[in-house]
Structure 1
Amino acid sequence: MASLLKEQPSMSTLLAAYASLSAMAMLIRTILNEMIPKPVQKYIKSKLSDLISNYLSSNFTFIIEERWQAVYNETFRAIEVYLPTRIGPSTDKLLLGSNDHNNPTAPPKRNIPSDCKIIDEFEGITLEWTLHVRESDKYYIPDKKCYHLTCKKRVREMVEQRYFPHIVKMAQTILSKREKLNIYTYNQDRCRWESAVFKHPARFETLAMEPELKQFIMEDLDSFAARKDFFKNVGRAWKRGYLLFGPPGTGKSSLVAAIANYMSYNVYDLQFQSVRNDADLRRILISTTNRSILLIEDIDCSTKISQDHAKVKDDREKEGEDGKLGRTSPVDSGATLSGLLNFIDGLWSSCGNERIIIFTTNHKEKLDPALLRPGRMDVHIPMGYCTPAGFRKLATTYLGIKDDKLFGSIDDLIKNIEVTPAEVAQQLMVRSDDPKAALQCFTEFLNMKKVKVGEDVIQKEEPKDENEKDDGKQSRKHDESESGSIYLT
């Protein structure tokens, strides 16, 4: 035993050997760093890491990022819809909140916070989900989000081929049965859409419109929703465009809300004037989801900016040449009409399916002709002044009556006076607790409006001859006939 102890190396010998090996390792490392290029080093390290993980780990991880190349990842969106339904007792934390201002006492919605683990079961296989969020250093660049799905390597193929399609189908089912809709507005500073609960009471049953017009719109919407294969076969994007035109107060916004409720589509309300440029517009539009409505109100104001854009740019360049403060910035140059039309029926129109695009305007005659060409806006719907049928619908809605002895005189007045459905609704709401008094007050309102219209006519210059009178009558007849027409392009 004593001889064996004597043969063992001393502590100083061991330290000296360790120091020699460390120096040798550092020397070899320095030589390799100098001789082997960095890309080759990274390649070797990655291969070694993969080799070690293959032998030591039996798990595999799928990574699903929020964006896929130039557009939003539809798989990511399906997971966002599906995963909150899989929250269970094993979930360690939750994100709760509510954006329903109409019902503040309702239970808050569930969502998945960063680094929260969700366990899901599929065909006897246990799957683990985790949301990862990488915060951006710049406020105008959105945070990067991605989901990690961890499973056993042996079931990787089955998860990819059967589990992910299962998630997409479940997400579609959930969206088709959703009871609450959202309305989105684009936050330019944070570069993302922000939502609020959309609970507008407008329905086709309550709209003060001609029954034939309402029936036409509903049938057109039903036909659009059921013709996915048709659009594919004819080589067109699965979209439908509506142009609503008419004076203010004729129910354009109410019709948009009725369409959203009828189709169960979310609404993306885009303020076109605030878009920086065409690239920004394209990014905003392709970030909208399927089964949604893109709404651009007062498009005549937006297109005016587009038409004047080239002139403003030339003026700025001329000011720069003259030595004045003429600066052109691509950030505030504004989006153009061509950029919008490219999304409607150009090459970028294929980015998304089952979408409805609605433009509203008070002055159709001010629109650029390019917007009115066939294929741009499929249906042109005039929103005119209130008609006797529209009045009766409003009387039923606000007063709860379907007939009265005053209806005949009111019908005669409405046929000869331009009164909007908004004006009628406002008058009926004042005395809605007493239908008789409300109808009497409304009749007085129409008579006063008729007197005022007569006074305005007298103040106008009389036509010089009978020919001008006839021309004026023909023009008015033409306007009246056009206001009741539906244009299909």
Structure 2
Amino acid sequence: MGEMWAQTGSVIASVMFVAAIFQQYLPRQLRYPVERYTRKLVSFVYPYIQITFDEFTNDFRKQSEIYSTIQSYLSVKCSTRAKRLKAHDVKDSKSLVLGMDDNEEVTDEFQGVKLFWGLRKQPVNQTSFSLNPQADEKKHYRLTFHKRHRDIITRSYLDHVLKEGKAISVSNRQRKLYINNPAQNWHSYRGTKWSHVVFEHPATFETLAMDPKMKEEIISDLIKFSKGKTYYEKIGKAWKRGYLLYGPPGTGKTTMIAAMSNLMDYDVYDLELTTVKDNTELRKLLIDTPSKSIIVIEDIDCSLDLTGQRKKEKDEEDKEENKDPFRKMREDQEKTPSKVTLSGLLNFIDGIWSACGGERLIVFTTNYVEKLDPALIRRGRMDKHIELSYCCFEAFKVLAMNYLDLDSHELFETIARLLGETSMTPADVAENLMPKSVIQDAESCLKSLIEALEAAKEEARVKAEEEAKSKAEEEAKLKIEKEEKEKDQSAKVEEKCNGT
């Protein structure tokens, strides 16, 4: 058997040598038929099939996604099987990725079939001088397998490689925070609809200051959504879910979004509506948003004229314009060119275009939920409404553990009573708990919070008294005006009677 393979190898080498000679000296018109029959002869004695995966596409030498996926898949195989490794600083990866060195080979096995992966590098014919040596090289992965396993490889194995490679890429990648670019920049060289930075917000649901029952409810809802692909297909709905976060400023709406991202391992797409040209551009942004993402529109009531209260008092406008004749001109110049409408935004959320892609969360935040158009926040668009209100005692205990490493203290009882008697946001509570110097201890921070709560309570009391006094004065004024009006009417009636 060894002698037979040696003879076969010798024949193949001889054939390749003769083919090279013919290619060098034969006329061009004879090269094609010679190469054709040479390949047939080689395929007859060589029972292996090869598939190559180039590193770059023809789109401005953009790296192929398939090549990157294979690189991620082979990184696991190479770390245990390859003898020569190379560390790659892969874009968006948390750490270095180990891969095979140039011209190295590793084996893989799938359903009892043995395969060979190799990384090949060859120079590229350049017509001009290049200062970048890597630009003059062309790399590709080469998969080699026996021809009797063609069906298994093409129908099952390649899908397996891409699926596993994508899973490894997702587990290794860094989360990103995206912002949409103005539409006029999309047509520039290699212009993109979204720009991004690495998203490293440390917030988690464990550190989030809110009611524990509500927290568990939200976590359960998010996990159920992430596992609900089959369920959404069954009920005939797009795999997406809307969240409306509302409450006073400083109650943790933005922190909640960061905690969602860290729990789900989703990228965040911060959509700035004022830079979107029109409804068509809005749809294009949606299409360019991949799965496993959170689309966020913060302060939706302030983004555009999308609220239910769209009309202004014309008399007030006329008065202001008469005072300042250049006011309208300045406002026209400052007005956003965006033509996004409420109808366009509604279609963006749950229209037919929202089904392009899956596993997406859409999150709106607002400080004034009563200002929003009811059609915008109805169930089915914003499926879950989450009110983030003032700090309760349970939320305070989370903050005390985060900032002071305290789970109990004799002053907790006083703080619990004051939190029930006054309103203070978690942001204000956290600011008072944060040590202002290295020598300030936990008890001093708690006393500082108690003082702030008592001051807020007194301020609320004074404000309530002033409002009550103002209301009483207004009622008294209206009563006097009413009495005077009735007195005048009586006098007019009496005067009319006397005249008659």
Q: TM-score range by the shorter chain?
A: 0.5 to 0.7
- Are 1:462 and 2:453 counterparts? no
Aligned positions of 1:13-412 closer than 5 A = 80-84=68-72, 86=74, 96=89, 123-126=114-117, 159-175=153-169, 177-178=171-172, 180-188=174-182, 189=185, 190-304=191-305, 332-412=337-417
Amino acid at match of 1:453: A
Distance 1:62 1:439, change over 3 A: closer
Distance 1:167 1:366, change over 3 A: farther
State whether residues 79 and 167 of structure 1, in contact with CA within 8 Å, keep that contact through their aligned partners in structure 2: no
SS for the counterpart of 1:170 is helix
Measure how far apart 1:369 and its partner are.
1.9
The 1-side partners of 2:465 and 2:243 are apart by 39
Measure how far apart 1:54 and its partner are.
6.7
Measure how far apart 1:253 and its partner are.
1.0
SS for the counterpart of 1:244 is strand
State whether residues 286 and 354 of structure 2, in contact with CA within 8 Å, keep that contact through their aligned partners in structure 1: no
Distance 1:110 1:128, change over 3 A: closer
Distance 1:78 1:63, change over 3 A: closer
The 2-side partners of 1:186 and 1:338 are apart by 20
State whether residues 51 and 143 of structure 2, in contact with CA within 8 Å, keep that contact through their aligned partners in structure 1: yes
SS for the counterpart of 2:403 is helix
State whether residues 251 and 389 of structure 2, in contact with CA within 8 Å, keep that contact through their aligned partners in structure 1: yes
State whether residues 307 and 336 of structure 1, in contact with CA within 8 Å, keep that contact through their aligned partners in structure 2: no
TM norm structure 2: 0.63
Amino acid at match of 2:179: T
Amino acid at match of 1:171: G
Measure how far apart 1:232 and its partner are.
0.7
Q: Larger radius of gyration, structure 1 or 2? A: 2
The 2-side partners of 1:259 and 1:363 are apart by 22
Amino acid at match of 1:124: L
The 1-side partners of 2:218 and 2:176 are apart by 22
2:323 alignment counterpart: none
Measure how far apart 1:420 and its partner are.
0.6
The 2-side partners of 1:351 and 1:52 are apart by 50
State whether residues 307 and 372 of structure 2, in contact with CA within 8 Å, keep that contact through their aligned partners in structure 1: no
CA-to-aligned-CA distance 1:150-179 (integer Å, 9 cap, x gap): 768968765542343113321343256347
2:127 alignment counterpart: none
The 1-side partners of 2:118 and 2:442 are apart by 63
| Higher mean C-alpha deviation, range 376-385 or range 57-66 | 57-66
State whether residues 86 and 98 of structure 2, in contact with CA within 8 Å, keep that contact through their aligned partners in structure 1: no
Unaligned runs of 5+ in 2: 1-30, 44-49, 59-63, 109-113, 125-138, 186-190, 313-328, 477-500
Unaligned runs of 5+ in 1: 1-48, 68-75, 101-105, 133-146, 312-323, 467-489
> Identity across aligned pairs (percent)?
36
Amino acid at match of 1:377: M
TM norm structure 1: 0.64
SS for the counterpart of 2:243 is strand
Amino acid at match of 1:83: Q
State whether residues 307 and 371 of structure 2, in contact with CA within 8 Å, keep that contact through their aligned partners in structure 1: no
CA-to-aligned-CA distance 1:300-343 (integer Å, 9 cap, x gap): 222426889999xxxxxxxxxxxx9xx9xxx9443333333223
Distance 1:124 1:442, change over 3 A: same
Distance 1:221 1:388, change over 3 A: same
The 2-side partners of 1:126 and 1:80 are apart by 14
Aligned positions of 1:442-461 closer than 5 A = 442-460=449-467, 461=470
CA-to-aligned-CA distance 1:440-467 (integer Å, 9 cap, x gap): 111111122222222222322235789x
Measure how far apart 1:419 and its partner are.
0.8
State whether residues 72 and 168 of structure 2, in contact with CA within 8 Å, keep that contact through their aligned partners in structure 1: no
- Are 1:421 and 2:426 counterparts? yes
2:487 alignment counterpart: none
RMSD over aligned Cα, in angstroms? Answer: 4.6
State whether residues 385 and 418 of structure 1, in contact with CA within 8 Å, keep that contact through their aligned partners in structure 2: yes
Measure how far apart 1:83 and its partner are.
2.4
- Name the count of aligned residue pairs: 376
